[in-house]
Amino acid sequence: MEQLNRLWKKGQDFLGVKYPIMAGAMTWISNHRFVAAVSNTGGFGSLAAGSMPPEELEREIDKTFELTDKPFGVNLITISPNYKQHLELTVRKKVPFIIFAGSFPRASEVKIAKESGAKVIAFASNNSIARRMIDSGIDALMLEGSEAGGHIGHVSLIILLQQVLLAMDEVPIFVAGGIATGQLMAHLLLAGAAGVQMGTRFILTEECEVHPNFREAFRKARARDAIATPAVGSELNVVAVRALRNKGMSDFTDLQMELILKNRAGEISKKEAQFEVEKFWMGALRNAVHEGDVNRGSLMAGQSVGLVNKVQTLQELFDEMINDALGALKLAKKRLGP
């Protein structure tokens, strides 16, 4: 355990947690109960602000503070209609960590967040965004590969590791996308990562409040079932979403065609069309998570879904990750020889 503690000390110190294993903010899933449970078990939980009304987000933040005295973050979607209000709210509430996702924040917004006393983390899906975020003054970087679930970039984690993790060291770098085992976590820490973030694997924990149909779909799925949504043309600049293949995927393709035709006819603006896209995904995701509609609902999942096939408690998940990481470090030492 001493070796593992040395490897992830940077992440422990930065996050203020026992295990620098972060539960990604999942819309309709990462509520105050789940976030507090993750943080109380020693990991790092992130509230998903999504597009929720500001007053609802305020309640979620207050309830999280009531349930845990451990560090947690609030994940803000910079392209959300309520983004500015969410930022103002997290600053006012003195949230310990503010995480920017969706797109990149302005340097002025990073400054506002930091002046509240919060530590700021920003996502990067390519090396140019990573450099821009570091230069804007963020405190840590979340490097996410296209293997991840939900909204994704175009570059795989294996490339990003070489372009960013092995090339930049100004701030702690956490990594995400396709991670589900302690073995891989150990090797990422050896490469210099401060910690890891997972989303898909946390779905199969007892503390994660999702419909049984949703959880079972994840348990049965293979890696190749988690596909990126197709973009119809380039007019809407639709950000790809990785989810399990179902009828909802076909519905999304039809929706894009409908919105493109409306935009061409002047019936809807590009911004309005993009909002309709996000509205579709949020509604479809809610139907899957809470109503159990795994046919037409959205099953946002990373390719790591092929590595997840059992339901565990959060503590069992962390224990397994640590034991497997220690085993991987022992094997690496054996391979290196005297």
pLDDT in tens, 292-310: 999 999 999 999 999 999 9
What CA–CA distance (Å, rounded) separates 47 from 36?
Answer: 9
Instruction: Enumerate the domain spans of the chain.
Output: 2-210+309-336, 212-291
| Location of structure tokens 């679930």 | 149
Residue 271 corresponds to which amino acid? K
What CA–CA distance (Å, rounded) separates 299 from 295?
Answer: 9
Q: Is the pLDDT of residue 80 over 90?
A: no
Share of the chain above pLDDT 90, in %: 79
Average pLDDT of the residues in 191-197? 98
What pLDDT does 277 receive? Answer: 84
Closest of 152, 122, 290 to residue 208, by C-alpha: 290
What CA–CA distance (Å, rounded) separates 323 from 27?
Answer: 30
Would you place residue 73 in the very low, low, confident or very high pLDDT band (cuts 50, 70, 90)?
very high
Retrieve residue 320's tokens.
């397994």
pLDDT in tens, 211-270: 999 999 999 999 999 999 877 777 777 778 899 999 988 888 888 889 999 989 899 888
Rounded to the nearest 5°, which phi and psi values hold at 234? Answer: -125, 5
pTM of the model: 0.93
As a CATH number, domain 2-210+309-336 is 3.20.20.70
Mean pLDDT of the chain: 94
Closest of 151, 123, 129, 148 to residue 229, by C-alpha: 151
pLDDT in tens, 93-136: 999 999 999 888 999 999 999 999 999 999 999 999 999 999 99
What CA–CA distance (Å, rounded) separates 174 from 197?
Answer: 7
Closest of 27, 134, 8, 18 to residue 76, by C-alpha: 27
* Secondary-structure percent of the chain, ordered helix, strand, coil, rounded to 5: 50, 15, 35
